[in-house]
Amino acid sequence: KAGVTQTPRYLIKTRGQQVTLSCSPISGHRSVSWYQQTPGQGLQFLFEYFSETQRNKGNFPGRFSGRQFSNSRSEMNVSTLELGDSALYLCASSFNSPNYEQYFGPGTRLTVT
């Protein structure tokens, strides 16, 4: 059974640019969550999508957005990048809810210069 895949694995962007990260969940999983991990703030929940709808949301500014497609694949977008957006972005999938076992991808390491 293939695991959660995230692309790209590494990304370097400049302040003010925007970026799109992609996540393919485990086959059959309908819930996809996104997390930001930084040394200063730790692991923080961004949002969760289920059946193409954002169901849960963390405390991040509107520059962070996401979507989910009919095949459960998900993308997150960060517009007007700031230096503080440099982080490891993790995607996790579960069958139906973050309140059950989640499988995490390897993450996308975003560096903003």
Partner 1 sequence: AQKVTQAQTEISVVEKEDVTLDCVYETRDTTYYLFWYKQPPSGELVFLIRRNSFDEQNEISGRYSWNFQKSTSSFNFTITASQVVDSAVYFCALSEANFGNEKLTFGTGTRLTIIP
Residues that bind partner 1 (CB under 8 A): 33, 35, 42-45, 48, 55-58, 88, 90, 92, 97-107
What single-letter amino acid sits at 31? S
Work out how close the CB of 22 gets to partner 1 at its nearest, in angstroms, rounded to a whole number: 16
Work out how close the CB of 32 gets to partner 1 at its nearest, in angstroms, rounded to a whole number: 13
Residues in Cβ contact with 26 at an 8 Å cutoff, skipping those fewer than 6 apart: 1, 2, 3, 4, 93, 103
Residue among 20 and 97 whose Cβ is closer to partner 1: 97
Residues in Cβ contact with 29 at an 8 Å cutoff, skipping those fewer than 6 apart: 72, 93, 94, 95, 103
Work out how close the CB of 104 gets to partner 1 at its nearest, in angstroms, rounded to a whole number: 4
Enclosing H/E stretch for 69 = none
Residue among 17 and 74 whose Cβ is closer to partner 1: 74
The reply to whether omega before 61 is within 30° of 0 (cis) is: no
Work out how close the CB of 103 gets to partner 1 at its nearest, in angstroms, rounded to a whole number: 7
